[in-house]
Structure 1
Amino acid sequence: MRYVFFNHQGRAVLGVRTADGVKVLGEETLESLLERGVDLVTYGANAQGPSVEIGEQDYLPLMRKPGKIICVGLNYADHTKESPYAQPDYPTLFPRFNSSLTAHNKPLVRPKVSDTLDYEGEMAVILKSGGRHIPKDQALEHVAGYALFNEGSVRDYQFKSPQWTVGKNFDDTGAFGPDLVTADELPAGGKGLLLETRVNGKIVQSANTQDMLFDVATVISTLSEAVTLQAGDVIVSGTPAGVGFGMNPKVYLKPGDVVEVSIEGIGKLVNPVIDEA
């Protein structure tokens, strides 16, 4: 089952993709459905709304206000090698804020204060339940589905301090969507899927989700040692090598560029780049 969030007749609505288009489910958000414990596969299969087509500019971020967005850094060994860091033996975790989110086909915005906006193609994991001290062998039972994420990073601000949070949270730099693909449609833990990022049609990142150093189950279990995970939380699972920061010379995004993130079985997330007004 594939869920999308979009504008329809002046309303923000949730929909589910079918062979005939997208069935409108109503104005309840994914966050609300998950918090209520709704089974997304059953709910989508029973959809009775009208079928519509989504305009290219009508997509909204897949979720408006996830309870938590937790990102995993340095989760592919080849990406760590192109960074200024040694490979950690514990997941590198940091938050993203809802205010940083943008949607499929909407711009990634290069801020006025920097010309170092970079891309990071990643797989996002959306939870349907949570708790504390979740055993690794039970962790995937808490996954509702998977989505695409472009974890746009303003590099000079990321490295102004030992904490990366500011550089990872500029407005309109975290592209999220367009679809949530329910976990039953993908391999367990989203493993074994080709992840690619293109800039202006050129492949700049190409890896397999199998190569993550800390897989989805490990990250969920590790996080739950400290944090109470909840339905609707999002984990952004890390990016492979090929970011602009790792190139010599460095190559950052500029207005007019188009970034595409794709993952086998999930789809494609496309964002043009503009300058902040």
Structure 2
Amino acid sequence: MFKRRFCENLETTKGKFAFRYYETRPERYALFEVYLLEHLAGKRYPSPAPIRNKNGNLLGKYKQKPFAIFTFMHGRHKKSVDPILIAKAVGKLHEITAGYKPDYCAARDTYDQKSCWRNAILNSRKIKSKPEAKQRLEWLKSELRKLQLPVDLPKGVCHCDTHPSNFLYINGKLVAVLDFDDASYVYLLYDIANMIYFWAWPDKAIIKFDKAKKLLEEYSKYRKLTSPEKEYLYDMLKMVIFMSIGWFIHANDYNNEQRKIEYLNSISRKDFYNRIFT
């Protein structure tokens, strides 16, 4: 009946919809997403809204796995986009969800050192050379120990994946924020660092501090960063990179992600702060 792909577009007599099959996800993981997206729909945020079935439920079951049906979001992906639109979307998300803690938060990723290390151990098994796997893990462990992230940084709803593929546009306007599969209730600073990673740091180059400043200036129109958040943005940007390393420690891009960490190591936290906030 359903294909194995995790997301399909459905054409029906009642219109076009998006079908999501959580084949590899636990039910609680899916419940976090549908309840969050229903909340966002009530706030008129431009994200897919889950549709309740005739029994009033947001999830159905197929072969004991959950699925959901969402409103279809119109628009197109664009290669060239004003990053300010992304900062606005992230800022608005944090603004309208302030004080809201979705149910089933514990089912989602924590995006911290423990999560990174757990993923790295698992994915390092895909590396054919055991000495190479050991070397990569030892480097990662030593770098994770250097991180300074206070436990009392502000938390909230985060999208956690501001990759360009997760936004749609019409006539130059951002009209849809997609893919809340990675969303979680974590440090808000993670979304901010994630945004800088994707929109102010060209993949094979160094961070563009002028772009990072503009992103933060736009974001701050919706939510002001606290002093500790400004101080530890440096560490959280590293955390975003470490999460990528944890997921793809076995892949060819490992060396490039390692390069980014070493670049950040080459500049002090104070220098990083001054380049963005002064």
| TM-score (norm: length of structure 2) | 0.25
| TM-score (norm: length of structure 1) | 0.25
Structure 1 or 2: more helix by fraction: 2
Structure 1 or 2: more strand by fraction: 1
Highest Rg: 1 or 2? Answer: 2
